[in-house]
């Protein structure tokens, strides 16, 4: 009877423990989804901010041009003086008498010159007032854009703080959940034994692939310029099997897919390396992050911030994708999904 009671207590404890873990996992997944959403909003806000900045720079250049036209009044002034010195505005009789004392060719030449300068002065005066009007309108537009820029920048900073706090919450909760200890131990052994990237990927394969008709969703891990395409190998390490990104500002690197982190640590001369596997045969390899936000054994969502990358000259992100062990061009999957 006592034995039965003990077994019942053990069973009850196991059920309660499982239930508690499940609640924690659900809470963690909820936090991760929030993090993904906030990061996406952050990227949209950042893109809008850059667009406003471009508009401000463009309009500032226009303002300089308008100011140059307005300040450059010497030529207009000289033309007006020429017309006044030539007594262009005297009455018709005075001009007729004066013309009798000159040859017809001189009269025609002077008349052509006068008409030319009169036309130029009219154009100059119209342009002057038009530029004044344009400048006033442009200054109002610039003031509105600058105000909008300040508000967007403030909103972006607030969004970034929210995102960083949410990432801290995820990390804190992640520690409470039992991760796959076997994966952590395996990752540690891999770091010591694997001689190169190919050895590492092959040895890390958990053989959890399943045949599925559902396509695995994959996205680019960072917003930046692709400076080396698949097969080119223009990155710092001359790796040819993936894409190489360069970012213009410090950014978050996000998980390219839903999956499990099978490696997250420094590896040989490559620096920080993250390897993620899903249940549909895909393996993502990321190299070049500044600092990691995840560790081996963690489950990650597509678009979840997993690391940071700086915008320094030597900072590049390498993204490699494998399907059932075969290296493929990441663009071939990202572009069609």
Measured CA to CA in angstroms, residue 242 lies from 233, 280, 300, 316, 320 at distances of 8, 20, 21, 12, 4
Which residue is it, tokens 């929210």?
A: 162
Classify each residue of 212-239 as buried b or exposed e, where b means 16 or more C-beta atoms within 10 Å of its C-beta: eeeebbbebbbebebebebeeeebebeb
Q: Could you tell me if 272 and 124 lie in one domain?
A: no
Other residues' Cβ atoms within 10 Å of the Cβ of residue 245: 25
Q: Could you tell me if 42 and 65 lie in one domain?
A: yes
Domain range spanning residue 105? 2-176
Q: Could you tell me if 19 and 150 lie in one domain?
A: yes
Q: Could you tell me if 44 and 151 lie in one domain?
A: yes
pLDDT number for residue 124? 59
Q: Which residues pair with 246 in a beta bridge?
A: 225
**Looking at the predicted structure, is the pLDDT value of residue 74 above 70?**
no
Q: Could you tell me if 104 and 46 lie in one domain?
A: yes
Residue 61: give its domain's CATH number.
1.10.287
Mean pLDDT, the chain, as a whole number? 78
Q: Could you tell me if 246 and 136 lie in one domain?
A: no
Q: How many domains does the chain have?
A: 2
pLDDT number for residue 330? 94
Q: Could you tell me if 224 and 325 lie in one domain?
A: yes
Mean pLDDT of 112-122: 61
Q: Could you tell me if 39 and 132 lie in one domain?
A: yes
Q: Could you tell me if 241 and 159 lie in one domain?
A: no
pLDDT number for residue 15? 46
Domain C-terminal end among 107, 142, 176: 176
pLDDT number for residue 116? 62
pLDDT number for residue 182? 76
H or E segment at 104?
helix 104-176
Q: Could you tell me if 157 and 196 lie in one domain?
A: no
Give pTM, 2 decimals: 0.73
Provide the 8-state DSSP code for 270. Answer: G
> What sign for the dihedral angle of Cα 238, 273, 184, 297?
negative
Q: Could you tell me if 165 and 53 lie in one domain?
A: yes
**Looking at the predicted structure, is the pLDDT value of residue 58 above 60?**
yes
Out of 7-11, 54-58, 190-194, which region has the weakest mean confidence (pLDDT)?
7-11
Percent of the chain with pLDDT over 70: 68
């Amino acid at each position: 009877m006592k034995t039965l009671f003990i077994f019942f207590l053990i069973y009850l404890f196991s059920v309660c423990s499982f239930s508690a873990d499940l609640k924690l996992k659900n809470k963690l997944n909820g936090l991760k989804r929030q993090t993904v959403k906030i990061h996406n909003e952050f990227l949209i806000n950042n893109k809008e901010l850059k667009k406003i900045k471009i508009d401000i720079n463009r309009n500032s250049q226009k303002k300089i041009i308008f100011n140059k036209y307005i300040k450059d009044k010497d030529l207009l002034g000289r033309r007006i003086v020429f017309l006044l010195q030539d007594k262009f505005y005297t009455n018709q009789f005075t001009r007729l008498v004066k013309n009798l004392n000159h040859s017809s060719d001189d009269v025609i030449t002077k008349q052509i010159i006068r008409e030319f300068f009169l036309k130029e002065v009219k154009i100059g005066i119209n342009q002057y007032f038009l530029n004044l009007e344009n400048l006033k309108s442009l200054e109002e537009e610039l003031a509105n854009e600058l105000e909008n820029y300040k508000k967007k920048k403030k909103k972006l900073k607030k969004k970034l703080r929210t995102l960083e706090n949410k990432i801290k919450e995820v990390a804190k909760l992640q520690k409470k959940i039992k991760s796959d200890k076997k994966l952590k131990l395996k990752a540690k052994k891999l770091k010591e034994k694997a001689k190169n990237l190919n050895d590492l990927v092959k040895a890390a394969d958990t053989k959890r692939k399943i045949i599925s008709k559902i396509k695995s969703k994959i996205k680019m891990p960072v917003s930046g310029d692709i400076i080396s395409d698949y097969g080119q190998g223009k990155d710092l390490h001359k790796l040819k099997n993936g894409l190489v990104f360069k970012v213009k500002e410090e950014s978050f690197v996000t998980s390219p897919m839903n999956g499990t982190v099978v490696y997250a640590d420094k590896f040989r001369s490559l620096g920080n390396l993250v390897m993620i596997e899903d249940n549909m045969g895909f393996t993502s390899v990321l190299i070049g992050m500044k600092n990691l936000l995840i560790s081996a054994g963690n489950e990650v969502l597509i678009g979840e911030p997993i690391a940071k990358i700086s915008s320094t000259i030597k900072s590049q992100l390498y993204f490699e994708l494998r399907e059932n062990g075969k290296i493929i061009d990441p663009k071939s999957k990202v572009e069609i999904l």
